Amino acid sequence: MGDPLRPEGELTRSREALLAALREEGIRDERVLAALARVPRHEFVPPHLVPYAYDDCPLPIGCGQTISQPYIVALSTEALALAPTDRVLEVGTGSGYQTAILAELAGTVYTVERVPELSRAAEQKLGALGYRNVRFRVGDGTKGWPDEAPFDAILVTAGAPRVPEGLIAQLAPHGRLVIPVGGRFNQELTLVHREGGRLVHRHLCPCTFVPLIGEEGWT
């Protein structure tokens, strides 16, 4: 649904402009771009922020959390190189926007959120939008979802001081993990994967996420 102060046509034009900007910034995976075109970001932000839903910036969603910048969402998703049958773990459901992007591209998404209010709201929103391949859990995301492991891909949407060992243990042999790693306020978005029996870390870009709170995160 569009905002009465932001007609649907204007939202569509804003979304198209954002997608063009993401292409200019180097996003090349057509499946990822198509997913961003399909998922209505304006449905995942507070009503007063709908006019800014397709600006390439994070926005507050309450509970001290944010909806991530579209470029970071696109870059993170592209780095995961998802297949339609992949089982994906998301740590940090937040608004549910990134969850929806993952659900567009993967087989099943398991998403963990530590704030019950956010998890409930995201589950209701994704259900209303017709997503049936997402499972929700409230808890410490740094522990992952052990009883559903291993996962083909893991995406962490909060900044961690280090890569949680518990998440590495839940990666499938050829699994990919994308996580912001660094200080409490500034991190490097990092892709971690196994190569020849060892873990390889590749830095994607500098970023700023809310802190990952949990046993293997920040206190």
Spatial separation of the C-alpha atoms in residues 126 and 44, rounded to whole Å = 10
| Residue indicated by tokens 């979802």 | 145
Q: Give 82's contacts (C-beta < 8 A, 6+ positions apart).
A: 31, 88, 102, 105, 106, 152, 153
Q: What is the pLDDT of residues 121-143, one digit of tens each?
A: 999 999 999 999 999 999 999 99
- 163, part of any domain: yes
Q: What is the pLDDT of residue 37?
A: 97
With a cut of 90, say whether residue 196 has pLDDT above it. no
Q: pTM for the complete prediction?
A: 0.94
**Residue 179, in any domain of the structure:** yes
CA angle in degrees (0–180, nearest 5) for 91-36-162 = 25
What's the average model confidence in pLDDT over 167-193?
96
Tell whether 1 is covered by a domain.
no
In a domain, 32, yes or no: no
Q: Is residue 189 part of a domain?
A: yes
Q: Say if 34 falls within a structural domain.
A: no
The confidence band for 8, taking pLDDT boundaries of 50, 70 and 90, is: confident
User: What backbone torsions phi and psi does residue 71 show, to the nearest 5 degrees?
Assistant: -60, -40
Instruction: Specify if 173 maps to a domain.
Output: yes
> Tell me, what's the pLDDT at 9?
85
Task: With respect to residue 73, please indicate whether it lies within any of the assigned structural domains.
Answer: yes
Please name the helix (run of DSSP H) or strand (run of DSSP E) that holds residue 97, with its range, or none: helix 97-105
State which amino acid sits at residue 82.
L
The CA distance from 205 to 202, in Å, is 10
Number of domains in the chain: 1
* Two structure tokens written together for 164: 């949680």
* Residue 189 to residue 122: CA distance in whole angstroms: 24
- Tokens for 189, please give them: 């978005």
The domain in which residue 96 lies consists of 57-207
Max CA separation in the chain (angstroms): 55
Active-site amino acid positions: 68
**In this structure, which amino acid lies at residue 54?**
Y
E strand or H helix that includes residue 206: strand 198-207
* 52 pLDDT above the threshold of 90: yes
For the domain that residue 117 is a member of, what is the CATH number? 3.40.50.150
pLDDT of 3 above 50: no
In the predicted structure, residue 1 carries a pLDDT above the cut 60? no
The stretch 6-17 carries a mean pLDDT of 86
Instruction: Give the mean pLDDT of the chain.
Output: 95
